[in-house]
């Protein structure tokens, strides 16, 4: 049976005579505005249980989508299920708006750029409009704008994280460009946080970049952590790693850890500050840093250029999951990656009941400014 199609103005006349108008687009599409008097029911929901929404199979039913294709398919499905008077609106909401017919007011907090930029997130039930607004309201501290920080920052900005506080006291060097993809040849000699801010603003101007050209120390660590939801360790040096761990335990912030060396990398989430006695911290794994003479020199040891990309993306993933409250975090698990064999393996981590930082009931012992071992990521 051929489904009749009508233009929006004829649909308005039918509405005045008592027809029912259903907008079968997804919720994130409808949030920008619907044809006036339309009820929003996603196509899949309507087709799955039409009787729950349209108990009268003989009612005059009009279906509308964005351009007319989905509504036509939905009308065919309803017709096959016994609905006798189903019509699709040709040209959909696009034509309805172009002809100047009234639209309902868009939902608060959504605009065309938001809708278009994050459309693939909005289609995920686990994210959707509410989740995307959570990302937009989130604040992430990323220490290090190098090998790990570059992919992490790119994907956090692309995902719509509202504010990224980026801390790094280094400048762009030509040797960085093999792996630190935030930077370019033209910005050699520029502060890394300034170079990063330029790259991220070009990707997503909605994200606010707070560029902090400072080395993390015991004097500024708590200021850097102020008001952030998640902390990402992209510094790849021991002084920053231990300071971040200790501050995150003290202040109750989740810390997304990553490290790379030659052809291998690892990642985890340390969340002992919010889950004392249940989740480990970095010191549960490595109580003290190695002596300077035993620590590898990054410049001498080298690193495969793509390796920080893999680990940095894992860190961005864990940060986004933490903000949204979805999935299973890497808390209590250390994920190892070997690029040469292309294998992941996992090690279970347990909290150390004698940990000087995160053991329940132990007072905070204060910060230690360890000597720097290895510069850059």
pLDDT digits (tens, 9 = 90+) for 82-105: 999 999 999 999 999 999 999 998
Cβ-based burial of 79 (10 A; exposed 0-12, middle 13-18, buried ≥19): middle
pLDDT for 124-145, tens place per residue?
889 988 999 999 999 999 999 9
Domain co-membership, 152 together with 12: no
**Does 154 share its domain with 259?**
yes
Same domain, 99 and 39: yes
Residue 120 lies in a domain: no
Q: How far apart are CA 167 and CA 66, in angstroms?
A: 44
Structure confidence by residue, pLDDT tens digits, 198-233: 999 999 999 999 999 999 999 999 999 999 999 999
256: closest CA among 149, 180, 162, 359? 149
Residue 114 lies in a domain: no
- Residue 216 shares a structural domain with residue 297: yes
If asked whether residues 173 and 275 sit together in one domain, one would say yes
Q: Which of 107, 127, 159 is the last residue of a domain?
A: 107
Residue 169 lies in a domain: yes
285: in domain: yes
* Domain of residue 320, residue span: 138-348
Question: Mean pLDDT across the stretch 332-344?
Answer: 98
61-64, strands of its sheet edge to edge: 5-6, 86-89, 61-64, 20-23, 39-40
Does residue 372 sit within a domain? no
Domain co-membership, 201 together with 241: yes
pLDDT score of 371: 66
* Number of domains the chain is built from: 2
Where does the pLDDT of residue 298 fall: very low under 50, low under 70, confident under 90, or very high at 90 and above?
low
Q: Residue 301: what pLDDT?
A: 77
Q: Residue 110 has what pLDDT?
A: 75
Q: Flag whether 265 is in a domain.
A: yes
369 within some domain:
no
In CATH, what number is assigned to the domain containing residue 246? 3.40.50.720
Same structural domain, 23 and 91: yes
Structure token pair of residue 98: 């172009």
Return the higher-pLDDT residue of 125 and 255: 255
d(CA 27, CA 121): 12
**Considering the entire predicted model, what is its pTM?**
0.84
pLDDT tens, residue by residue, 156-203: 999 999 999 999 999 999 999 999 999 999 999 999 999 999 999 999
Same domain, 293 and 144: yes
Assess whether pLDDT exceeds 60 at residue 297. no
Residue 172 and residue 100 in one domain: no
- 96, 171: one domain: no
**Helices marked H in the chain:** 8-16, 27-30, 43-48, 50-53, 69-80, 92-98, 112-117, 119-122, 128-137, 149-159, 192-203, 221-225, 238-251, 282-285, 298-301, 307-324
Asked if the structure places residue 192 within a domain, the reply is: yes
Q: Record the tokens describing residue 65, joined without a space.
A: 């989508």
- Domain shared by 68 and 166, yes or no: no
Same domain, 11 and 152: no
Q: Identify the CATH number of the domain in which residue 48 sits.
A: 3.40.250.10
């Amino acid at each position: 049976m051929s489904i009749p199609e009508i233009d929006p103005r004829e649909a308005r006349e039918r509405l005045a005579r008592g027809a029912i108008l259903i907008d079968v687009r997804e919720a994130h599409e409808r949030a920008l505005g619907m044809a006036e008097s339309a009820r929003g029911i996603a196509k899949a929901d309507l087709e799955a249980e039409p009787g729950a929404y349209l108990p009268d199979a003989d009612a005059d039913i009009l279906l509308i989508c964005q351009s007319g294709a989905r509504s036509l398919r939905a009308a065919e499905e309803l017709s096959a299920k016994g609905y006798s008077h189903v019509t699709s609106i040709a040209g959909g909401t696009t034509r309805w708006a172009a002809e100047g017919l009234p639209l309902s007011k868009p939902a608060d907090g959504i605009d065309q750029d938001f809708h278009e930029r994050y459309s693939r997130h909005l289609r995920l039930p686990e994210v959707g409009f509410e989740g995307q607004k959570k990302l937009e309201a989130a604040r992430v501290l990323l220490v290090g704008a190098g090998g790990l920080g570059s992919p992490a920052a790119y994907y956090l900005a692309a995902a719509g994280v509202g504010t990224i506080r980026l801390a790094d006291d280094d400048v762009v060097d030509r040797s960085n460009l093999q792996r630190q993809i935030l930077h370019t040849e033209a910005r050699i000699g520029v502060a890394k946080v300034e170079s990063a801010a330029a790259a991220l603003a070009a990707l997503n101007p909605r994200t606010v970049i707070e560029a902090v050209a400072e080395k993390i120390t015991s004097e500024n660590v708590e200021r850097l952590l102020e008001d952030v939801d998640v902390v990402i360790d992209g510094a790849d040096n021991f002084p920053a790693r231990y300071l971040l761990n200790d501050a995150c335990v003290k202040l109750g912030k989740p810390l997304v850890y990553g490290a790379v060396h030659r052809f291998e990398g690892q990642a985890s989430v340390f969340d002992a500050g919010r889950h004392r006695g249940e989740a480990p911290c970095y010191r549960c794994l490595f109580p003290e840093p190695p002596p300077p003479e035993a620590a590898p020199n990054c410049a001498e040891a080298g690193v495969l250029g793509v390796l920080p990309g893999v680990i940095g993306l894992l860190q961005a993933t864990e940060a986004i999951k933490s903000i949204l409250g979805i999935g299973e975090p890497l808390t209590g698990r250390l994920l190892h990656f070997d690029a040469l064999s292309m294998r992941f393996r996992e090690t279970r981590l347990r909290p150390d009941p004698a940990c000087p930082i995160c053991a329940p009931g132990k007072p905070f012992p204060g910060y230690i400014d360890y000597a720097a071992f290895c510069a850059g990521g």
